[in-house]
Structure 1
Amino acid sequence: MLIALDMDGTLLNSNGQISPRNKEAIIQAQTAGHVVAIATGRAYKDAYAPLKEAGIVCPIMSLNGAVITLADGTIIGDIPLEKQKLIPVLEWVRKQPDLYCEIYTNEAVYVGLHNREHLEELADRMSEEYPDLKRIVKKQFQQARVTYVNDIQEVWLQEDAPFYKVLIFSLNKDLLKSASSKFAEISDVTVTSSHPNNIEVNHEQATKGRALAKLASYYGIDLKDTVVMGDSHNDLSMFAVAGYRVAMGNASDEIKERSDFVTAVNDEDGVALVLENLAKEGSLS
């Protein structure tokens, strides 16, 4: 069986860590012969770090499936964006101070330094009216180890730097919606979201669902023998092809509606509850 786990809001708790119980359940599943893999919007290095801290070694489908890396570090598939198609919209994004932009290449996650500073200042200014803003902004920054540049434009002017993902974060949901619409008009692009305040742009063939199918094929596992767990919109492509779908208790309503089972929230070891049941009874519900 292939078991694919989303990270943020699923495997990781609110502190961005893998709990001891989740760790033990994963190792138990691996010992039983199951393939446990990560399917995340994070870049490989940002997904690898909490796994290393917990002592877990497994395949990683990073950047929403744009890059598939085996446990030994071998890359068996990658699908970059066609950068030139994105540049006109990226130039528009660059001129919107309320849109925070991250660009994921094969080397790093790039952020414009002034862009982050503006977002932090905005969150501070609005913190009394919206107390959750600082937490939301902090969580966004927690997910990626970034490389700062003075101007984000520097990144797309590098001819030899392929893009795998563009993430746009904003506290202005109307502006975020406009950005989503502009990217959606570009051919061969898919726009998803892992949080109400962000959008994630990948090549249309770079989805968690396609990556799951490729990884299953690599291991000779039928898709009906795959299990996926997630909480957000960018997990829907996995839910569309997997044999069994588990929504976290903190998942969006859409994810829950498309699931076969709803487990506990990520801060209450929802992943472990499912894996322990599999080990104990040979079933998932």
Structure 2
Amino acid sequence: MSGLIVTDLDGTLLDKRGRVSPRNRAALKAAHEAGWHVAIATGRTWTESHHAIDCIAEDALFIGVGGASLHEAGSGRVLSTMTIDAPMVLNLADLIMGHGHRAHLLMDASLTGHDYIFVGTAELDAATKWWLAEHPIKTHDWHAAPGDAHEQLHGRVLRVGTIGAEEALAPLVQMIDERWGEQLAVRAWGAVTADEALGSRTHMMEIFARNVDKWSMACVAADRLGVDRGTIVALGDGLNDLELIGNAPLGVAMANADARIRAIARAHTAAHDSDGVAIAVEALLEGRLVAGWRADAGGAA
């Protein structure tokens, strides 16, 4: 049997240090050699995932920005995107700035030459500054939207968001959901920071076009590969994996996953810092990974 393995990065394939363990690398390589396709699906961009992409084949697919983009893993070439309409982007930027934050517009860099446009004059959060220093990201600043903003943004904005304290972002998330919940998907959770990979009090608000999620783009990836969607095996831990784990024929939750992910998963593996991906993939290759399967840190079902 073969099909498509889709794995999240942070809290899933990456350990607490943000690295892919040797056992995880070996398991994904064995899956590829056995005829399985392997794809990464993450909230990061392709550029922000450069340190982890080498664990999958050059011709594999990469699902980025929470499902808003699909790339060739090796080259980063963009294959498909789902963007937010320019007028809505500007409405969101105005609202975010009005609440004292800098708006982060994540762009399709293949069209713009830069990854982010930061709109406004508020100070960037410390977590954002650290993230920019850690990755080869190109940015552009707008103190205010220019006259030709619609033209510059049309078909190019994958995500709108900002980063700040949880208590400061909560009212903003609620307001956006109430105003535009039928047109947009808005999410907020702990951001990856210099000190914490999971559970941070610094939160990230992300806003997407309504139907953007990892599962939808995983289906696009499967179709491009000529793989039956019924063979998709998905691994994840966070709320942006909810649709992926819930809809995949075999959704596998990490032991460290959010309770809502664990509740809908059909199988359960060890934590991200205990080679949980490798343990599940090894079981898959041995024919043991089925609905109801559960593993401890040592890999025993």
TM bucket normalised to smaller: 0.7 to 0.9
| Partner in structure 2 of residue 22 of structure 1 | 24
CA distance in 1 between counterparts of 2:259 and 2:223 reads 30
What amino acid does structure 2 have at the position aligned with 1:253?
A
Flag structure 2 segments of 5+ consecutive residues without an equivalent.
Answer: 110-114, 191-198, 294-301
Q: CA contact under 8 A between 2:103 and 2:120: conserved in structure 1?
A: no
| Partner in structure 2 of residue 133 of structure 1 | none
What amino acid does structure 2 have at the position aligned with 1:42?
R
| Partner in structure 2 of residue 165 of structure 1 | 159
Q: CA contact under 8 A between 2:255 and 2:269: conserved in structure 1?
A: yes
Measured after TM superposition, the shift of residue 45 of structure 1 is 1.4
- 2:38 equivalent to 1:45: no
Flag structure 1 segments of 5+ consecutive residues without an equivalent.
Answer: 121-135
What amino acid does structure 2 have at the position aligned with 1:247?
A
1:60-88 CA-to-partner distances (Å, cap 9, x unmatched) read 01111111123454533211111211322
Partner secondary structure for residue 251 of structure 1: coil
The structure 2 residue matched to 1:177, chosen from 170, 175, 183, is 170
| Partner in structure 2 of residue 86 of structure 1 | 89
Q: CA contact under 8 A between 2:28 and 2:56: conserved in structure 1?
A: no
Q: Higher RCO, 1 or 2 (CA under 8 Å, sep at least 6)?
A: 1
Q: Give the % identical residues.
A: 22
CA distance in 2 between counterparts of 1:244 and 1:143 reads 34
- 2:15 equivalent to 1:13: yes
Give the number of the structure whose residues are more often helix, by fraction.
1
- 2:116 equivalent to 1:109: yes
CA RMSD of aligned residues (A): 2.8
- 2:88 equivalent to 1:77: no
Distance 1:281 1:200, change over 3 A: same
CA distance in 1 between counterparts of 2:128 and 2:269 reads 27
What amino acid does structure 2 have at the position aligned with 1:166?
V
Scaled by the length of structure 1, the TM-score of the pair is 0.81
Distance 1:24 1:138, change over 3 A: farther
CA distance in 1 between counterparts of 2:270 and 2:30 reads 19
CA distance in 1 between counterparts of 2:163 and 2:81 reads 24
Partner secondary structure for residue 10 of structure 2: coil
CA distance in 1 between counterparts of 2:244 and 2:215 reads 4
Scaled by the length of structure 2, the TM-score of the pair is 0.77
CA distance in 2 between counterparts of 1:248 and 1:138 reads 29
Q: CA contact under 8 A between 1:229 and 1:246: conserved in structure 2?
A: yes
| Partner in structure 1 of residue 229 of structure 2 | 223
Measured after TM superposition, the shift of residue 244 of structure 1 is 0.6
1:96-150 CA-to-partner distances (Å, cap 9, x unmatched) read 34x4643210111344696555x33xxxxxxxxxxxxxxx778866886444445
Q: CA contact under 8 A between 1:16 and 1:142: conserved in structure 2?
A: no
- 2:187 equivalent to 1:192: yes
- 2:238 equivalent to 1:242: no
